[in-house]
Structure 1
Amino acid sequence: MKRLALAGMAMTAASAAAAPVLAADLPQAPAPAYEAVPAPQQTIDWSGIYLGGNLGWAFGNFDNKSGSTGLGTNANGVAGGLYTGYNFQVTPNVVIGAEADFSLTDLEETRTNGGLNVKSKSDWNSNIRARVGYSFDRYLVYGAGGLALADLEVSAAGDKDSKTALGWTVGAGGEAAITNNISARLEYVYQDFGSQDFNLNGTGVSSDFNNSQVRLGLGYKF
């Protein structure tokens, strides 16, 4: 019996020693491979020179006074023109740039008070602005501010006086890239020109003019 027991123990030990060798000879299943998830890529670069046209509606406020006589009036009408500028994409999300625009406007209104009939009008305006924006790939939201110019004319008693007024402007908008070169925008622009003085046949009239514009634009980036 002892011999049988010893023989059994020897066979068990031999089988245990041979098991790893046999396992090594068996075909091994490869470890599962996982592909790395690619980081989101920007599909458009906002950097470059661009040119476009816009069309919208302007709301003007002429706060006119002659001495103690109030002659303020509001006017609104179509505004449309051209814009051009340059964008630089500082990071994948931050875009800075400069822009200039010129628009023709249809702002004209007459106010009568104290026997004085005063007509106020503005035929054009322009902006020179800095822009700072945040892009979501093909979409850009931005704020802008800078200098504004406008043509102002006041007429009464058979006389008229006009000047080019200098003021300031702020605004904000959103832009979407339709293709890598064509983009559409919607923006709001506010201009303030402070008080301007006019002389009409010896009668002094001061006009504090400001206006707001809501406009759509379509541009091309070179």
Structure 2
Amino acid sequence: MIRKLLLTSTATAALTGAAAAADLPRREAPPPVFTPVPVFTWTGFYAGFNAGYAFDASSRRNGPFIVNLPAGSPLVVGPLAPSQVVFGGRNSLDGFSGGGQIGYNYQFTPGSGAVVGIEADAQYVDFGRNRNRFLLTPGFVPAPNIAFVNPIGLASLDFFGTVRGRLGYAWDRTLIYGTGGFAYGSGSDETRFGGFRGNDDFRTGWTAGGGVEYALSADSWLNFFRASAVTFRVEGLYVNLERNNRNNGVFAVNTVTGAPAVLAPGIIARNNPLEFAVVRAGVNYKFGSY
């Protein structure tokens, strides 16, 4: 009898405890962690390289230029009679352009919004290598160590660079922009001819243009950094490099000393700007993925 009472009491206590436990509040699972999707921004420093094609953008069409040499001129070897040197009028300004750029952009509102920036670049160019072709009166040849150079043609250009502002609008990873600012360049009044290299001629001016740029997503197969930091662009620029007035009557130089050999009769003064356009493609790495 006592044993039955004990078993009954134990069963009742167990049932009561189970019922009480069932009434207790359950421990809920923790809420999921919300991870916001990063919004791309063009803000940040970048650096890259570019390559393209440059060509003459001026409206000038120079005609042939004739230099008359007196009888017995020390510039030529031939009969003791007057002779002529005839320079062609073609500027022959076109060729490869390539170099690098660095810059900084600031986007006012990430995602889509206005973008401002500044960029500097330095470019190699291959211009006007055939500019100094000439014809000499039959029976005459240049004297030893003498090279004839075109006194009115456009100078060749070895390199140029720009420092420009940029203003554009971005739709997420696509940026359309305009650009403009300071330009500089250096070349030679006498392009390579017979081993002679003319004096450098540094000049400054301005440039303007525009382009479109696209930032690759991290999973793009073209994104070799595997980060949202690689951009591709296509850009066009017009460059105008002013030249100062100066005496330009030199039409022959000594290929050994580099000194002018003679001045053409009647010193010619000019102030012709060097105008050309550049169409190029480039790639940049933007520091900071977003």
* Shared fold per TM-score greater than 0.5: yes
Deviation at 1:114, TM superposition (A): 9.0
- The equivalent of 2:273 in structure 1 is 208
**Shift in CA distance, 71/117, structure 1 to aligned 2, threshold 3 Å:** farther
Q: Which moved more, 1:101-110 or 1:56-65?
A: 56-65
**Aligned partner letter, 1:140:** L
* Residue 141 of structure 1 pairs with residue 159 of structure 2: no
Deviation at 1:173, TM superposition (A): 0.1
Between the two proteins, the alignment pairs up a number of residues equal to: 181
* Residue 97 of structure 1 pairs with residue 117 of structure 2: yes
**Shift in CA distance, 112/184, structure 1 to aligned 2, threshold 3 Å:** same
* Whole-Å separation in 2 of the counterparts to 1:133 and 1:61: 25
What is the correspondence of 1:1-222 to structure 2 with a 5 Å cutoff?
Answer: 43-60=39-56, 71=89, 73-91=91-109, 92-108=112-128, 109-111=130-132, 117-118=149-150, 120-155=155-190, 160-179=198-217, 180-197=228-245, 199=248, 200=250, 201=260, 202-203=263-264, 204=268, 206=270, 207-222=272-287
Deviation at 1:135, TM superposition (A): 0.4
Q: Indicate the percent of aligned positions where both proteins have the same amino acid.
A: 29
**Aligned partner letter, 1:123:** D
Contact 2:203 2:243 (C-alpha < 8 Å) held by counterparts = no
**Shift in CA distance, 196/113, structure 1 to aligned 2, threshold 3 Å:** farther
Long gaps (5+) in structure 2? 1-36, 67-87, 137-147, 218-227, 251-259
Deviation at 1:159, TM superposition (A): 8.3
Contact 1:73 1:111 (C-alpha < 8 Å) held by counterparts = no
Contact 2:159 2:185 (C-alpha < 8 Å) held by counterparts = yes
- Which secondary structure does the structure 2 equivalent of 1:46 belong to? coil
* Whole-Å separation in 1 of the counterparts to 2:61 and 2:132: 9
Contact 1:61 1:73 (C-alpha < 8 Å) held by counterparts = no
The one-character-per-residue Cα deviations of 1:118-172 (angstroms, maximum 9, x if unpaired) are 2731010101000001101010000000000011311289783431110000010
**Shift in CA distance, 164/135, structure 1 to aligned 2, threshold 3 Å:** same
Contact 2:173 2:214 (C-alpha < 8 Å) held by counterparts = yes
CA RMSD of aligned residues (A): 3.1
Contact 1:97 1:130 (C-alpha < 8 Å) held by counterparts = yes
Q: Which has the higher strand share?
A: 1
**Shift in CA distance, 124/187, structure 1 to aligned 2, threshold 3 Å:** same
**Shift in CA distance, 100/215, structure 1 to aligned 2, threshold 3 Å:** same
* Whole-Å separation in 2 of the counterparts to 1:149 and 1:88: 26
The one-character-per-residue Cα deviations of 1:12-40 (angstroms, maximum 9, x if unpaired) are xxxxxxxxxxxxxxxxxxxxxxxxxxxxx
TM-score (norm 1): 0.70
Long gaps (5+) in structure 1? 1-40
